Amino acid sequence: MAAAAGGGAVRALSQKEQDIQMMLAADVHLGTKNCDFQMERYVFKRRTDGIYIINLGKTWEKLQLAARVIVAIENPQDIIVQSARPYGQRAVLKFAQYTGAHAIAGRHTPGTFTNQLQTSFSEPRLLILTDPRTDHQPIKESALGNIPTIAFCDTDSPMRYVDIGIPANNKGRNSIGCLFWLLARMVLQMRGTILPGHKWEVMVDLFFYRDPEEAKEQEEEAAVAPEFAAITDYQGADQWGGDQWTSDVAVPPVAPTGADWGAAPAPVPTGDGWDQAGAPVPVDGTVPPVIAPTGWDQAPQPTAQGWE
């Protein structure tokens, strides 16, 4: 992550600049109308409508610091990531999945860190929270148990007992997802699991909170695709040429990765093809040359092998 040296739009952006661009897109820099005195050092300016703007350069530095602390814990299972708020729950679960930590999504039962007689008693070495205000109970308990705490703090968040506060917007769903994604990527880069400079194949969208209705819609669309795959199965490999067979293979794996629906334009031709109910024959005749290359990029190789 080389530091940027002036310049701008013409040459390629450094890792840090790319990250900051992403954070800007996710509205990480927007604070609230109030500012806690301990957060003043991270604030860039106050907008005319009263919202404080957070200095994203400092956010990035704090993220790096937090990542270093996370990497310093030998056993990742001793880290607990927590979010009581719904916007952070998915991000927290994904973060835990990719870094090996433990996630608590939803209500924090008081006494989890202090009451040794509880079944859910645990003594973590590090605690990561999305919001010091809503997650105030774990903060109080970690103070009693000598547990260092990292938290994403908004401009008006209380900083009591928070050891590393990462200045950021913890109100927006995109913002929280983006921050956890960045933190996870930094941790994995520091551990050496991902090489720096390479894009992480996991998408940010995976960390974003999905409304239950939205999730249902996507699942329905994904459910439609596999149905067609099943039908072609019965109609037999004999009739279909090898070309068409591989194209059928390529498309189904693409559809279910729900994240891709966000980037709608590319799969549209296929989408239309599926909607025209019935045999995919006419569509496939034209589509294979277009779809196959992208399909191979996105679909993981093992699935294809399975089919063949």
- Binding residues (CB under 8 A) for another protein: these are 74-75, 77-78, 80, 102, 104-109, 112, 116-117, 119-125, 144-146
Shortest gap between Cβ of 149 and another protein (angstroms)? 16
Shortest gap between Cβ of 153 and another protein (angstroms)? 23
Cα 226 to Cα 224: distance, rounded to the nearest angstrom: 6
Shortest gap between Cβ of 182 and another protein (angstroms)? 25
Run of H or E residues at 43:
strand 43-46
Cα 130 to Cα 147: distance, rounded to the nearest angstrom: 16
- Return the number of the residue (124 or 177) whose C-beta is nearest another protein: 124
Run of H or E residues at 273:
helix 268-275
Run of H or E residues at 94:
helix 86-99
- Return the number of the residue (41 or 107) whose C-beta is nearest another protein: 107
- Return the number of the residue (97 or 120) whose C-beta is nearest another protein: 120
- Return the number of the residue (69 or 229) whose C-beta is nearest another protein: 69
- Return the number of the residue (34 or 121) whose C-beta is nearest another protein: 121
Cβ distance 243 to 197 under 8 Å? no
The string over 17-55, giving b where at least 16 C-beta atoms fall within 10 Å of a residue's C-beta and e elsewhere, is bebbebbeebebbbbbeebbeebeebbeeeeeeebbebe
Shortest gap between Cβ of 94 and another protein (angstroms)? 17
Shortest gap between Cβ of 124 and another protein (angstroms)? 7
- Return the number of the residue (122 or 235) whose C-beta is nearest another protein: 122
Among candidate residues 143, 136, 125, 123, the one with its CA nearest the CA of residue 83: 136
Cβ distance 138 to 127 under 8 Å? yes
Shortest gap between Cβ of 78 and another protein (angstroms)? 6
Q: Mention every residue, 6+ apart, whose C-beta is less than 8 A from residue 11.
A: none
- Return the number of the residue (78 or 217) whose C-beta is nearest another protein: 78
- Return the number of the residue (74 or 238) whose C-beta is nearest another protein: 74
Per-residue tokens: 114: 């202090």
Q: What angle do CA 36, 40, 46 make, to 5 degrees?
A: 95
Per-residue tokens: 170: 């913890």
Shortest gap between Cβ of 192 and another protein (angstroms)? 19
CA-only gyration radius of the chain, Å: 23
Shortest gap between Cβ of 213 and another protein (angstroms)? 24
